Structure 1
Amino acid sequence: MSALQTLDRGLRALEIVSLAPAGISVADLARELDVHRAICYRIVSTLESRGMVSRTEDGRIRLAVGVAVLASRFEPQLRDELRALLRRLAEGARATAFLSAADGPDCVVLMVTEPTGELLTVGYRVGSRHPLTRGAAGIAILAARPERPEDTDEVRAARRDGYSVTRAQLEQGATGVATGIRVRSGVDGGALIERSIGVVAIDGLDLDRAVEVVRRSGVELAGLFGVADGGS
């Protein structure tokens, strides 16, 4: 099925505008879209009539409140889908599943789900934080970033393999497996999204199975943010 060209241009325009917090001129937007300025004006006017973009005093185009309204309607759906994803991951790996995010130099736990019927689980709490350089979750986020000279061997290995594995770095006897994504998302107004998803368990973790379901969950996570696959 072929894409509707006008609709595609409008959506691309929103994405381009979202990546310019200070706004973008019509001329620059037309150049980015590779269309005549008159066509770009019509696209902008249509988006403006729907409250998706607005113009600054100097005529630059930026996102408007309509985008925030759509995002507010989407957020509950996204949370539900993330919870369902973590539930499938926890049950598939028979381990505590988590979703984490980068916050400066730290990795912060956003969501946690434990498998049913397990007597011994890891006490990984929402809001817990630790350095990105320690633990599978943080290393997975670093591995999803562009390569840097200061990368550790653990980060390089995670980038190569598509997942990180750590043992006893945050809790004695615990093994963690995680994969990370790093994307620009129109959902968050063009914000950089860095997340990791994974599992952690005290003893008895089936590592091969955990790696399989974590990597699959990483692809699903990336899909929720509108990209084809995750980072490594």
Structure 2
Amino acid sequence: MSTLQTLDRGLRTLDFVSLQPSGVLVSEIADELGVHRAIAYRIVGTLESHGLVARDEGGRVRLGAAVATLSRRFAPQLMTVGRPVLTELADRTQATSFVSVAEGDECVVVMVEEARGQALRVSYQEGARHPLHRGAPGLAILATRPESPHDSEDVRTARERGYSLTHGQLQAGAIGVSVGLVGIPALEAAGIEASVGVVVLGGLDTERAVRESRAAAVRLSALLAG
């Protein structure tokens, strides 16, 4: 697959900056991209002119407000109603809650909420990607699709149970539970396949996690239908 180098560098810069809450220096961006600082400055300047990044007085680069505007344009109804559902799910399970969507062969995290008072936090952030066939969110999505002779045992098990449960597939010590969102016209019309669930490091009351994740899926379905 051919790519446009300048655009690729700009997108990689956005991804790199998004993972650094305290911001990054242009020199660090240059090192990350493997380019001269002058090129990194031009990339940052272009992104800044579109409001996608901003520089503080110390020269540190952070995401700009335009990124939030763009994010709200992705499945706006889901993004609007989903946040309070995830907050409640996180608090009820004392785990990190999320909504993920399928994008090609990858699973992409589009919303994350952490439980208040959660001691250990998993490195599961909005925008994170992983193979669709690994981890509870992707398996839950695959389980909503028609049966295929190529389905893995994990997918067949998730389809039979109505939820996916994984241990350490994406991060050592992490336990994930996820439920696919099905029969939602608003998502189907947009061609979006999604799942909702929780992930936590260490112990998890899996029965409660399954119950609450299913309830969250039902609530999301009702809100999106209404």
Name the TM tier (shorter chain): 0.5 to 0.7
Deviations 1:34-65 (A, max 9, x none): xxxxxxxxxxxxxxxxxxxxxxxxxxxxxxxx
Please tell me whether the aligned partners of residues 98 and 199 of structure 1 are also in contact (alpha carbons under 8 angstroms).
yes
Quote how far apart the aligned CAs of 1:160 are. 1.0
Relative to structure 1, is the Cα distance of residues 161 and 128 closer, same or farther in structure 2, using a 3 angstrom cutoff?
Answer: same
Contact 1:183/1:192 (8 A) holds in 2 = no
Deviation track 1:133-161 (CA, whole Å, cap 9, x = no partner) reads 00000000000111111111111111111
Change (3 A) 1:101 1:151: same
Counterpart AA for 2:206: L
**Counterpart Cα distance in 1 of 2:164 and 2:103:** 19
The equivalent of 1:192 in structure 2 is 191
Q: Which 5+ residue runs of structure 1 have no aligned equivalent?
A: 1-71, 228-232
Query: Any conservation in 1 of the 2:77–2:224 contact (CA below 8 Å)?
Result: no
Contact kept? 1:183, 1:193, Cα under 8 Å: no
Bigger Rg over Cα: 1
- What does residue 129 of structure 1 align with? 129
Find the counterpart in structure 2 of residue 52 from structure 1.
none
The aligned length equals 154
1:104 alignment counterpart: 104
For the aligned residues, what is the CA RMSD? 2.2
Q: Distance in 2 between matches of 1:184 and 1:222?
A: 6
**C-alpha separation between the residues in 1 aligned to 2:177 and 2:187?**
27
Q: 1:218 aligns to what?
A: 217
Question: Percent identity over the alignment?
Answer: 48
Distance 1:168 1:139 in 2: 14
2:161 is matched by which residue type in structure 1? D
Judging changes above 3 Å, is the alpha-carbon distance between structure 1 residues 92 and 188 closer, same or farther for their aligned structure 2 residues? closer
1:55-66 superposed matches below 5 A: none
Contact 2:184-2:221 at 8 Å conserved across structures: no
Local SS of the residue matching 2:191: strand
Cα distance in 2 for residues equivalent to 1:194 and 1:209: 24
TM-score for both structures, normalised by structure 2 = 0.63
SS in 1 for 2:142: helix
Superposed displacement of residue 130, structure 1: 0.5
Distance in 1 (CA, whole Å) between partners of 2:175 and 2:86 is: 17
Q: Shift in Å at residue 192 of structure 1? A: 2.1
Q: How many Å separate the matches in 1 of 2:145 and 2:127?
A: 23
User: Which segments of 5 or more consecutive residues in structure 2 lack a partner in the other structure?
Assistant: 1-71
Matches within 5 A, 1:115-194: 115-183=115-183, 185=185, 187=186, 190-194=189-193
Provide the residue aligned with 2:83 in structure 1.
83
Q: 1:189 to 1:173 in 2, by over 3 A?
A: closer
User: What's the offset of the Cα at 1:219?
Assistant: 1.4
In the alignment, the residues of structure 2 paired with residue 223 and residue 153 of structure 1 have an alpha-carbon distance, to the nearest angstrom, of: 31
In structure 2, C-alpha distance between the alignment counterparts of 1:214 and 1:200, rounded to whole Å = 11
CA distance in 2, matches of 1:225, 1:124: 25
Q: Normalized against structure 1, the TM-score is what?
A: 0.62
Contact 1:177 1:198 in 2 (8 A): yes
Summarize the Cα distance change of 1:160–1:201 in structure 2 as closer, same or farther, 3 Å threshold.
same
Matched letter for residue 204 of structure 1:
G
SS in 2 for 1:157: helix
Distance 1:77 1:146, change over 3 A: closer
Is the Cα–Cα contact under 8 Å of residues 179 and 213 in structure 2 kept in the other structure?
yes
Pairwise CA distance, 1:189? 8.6
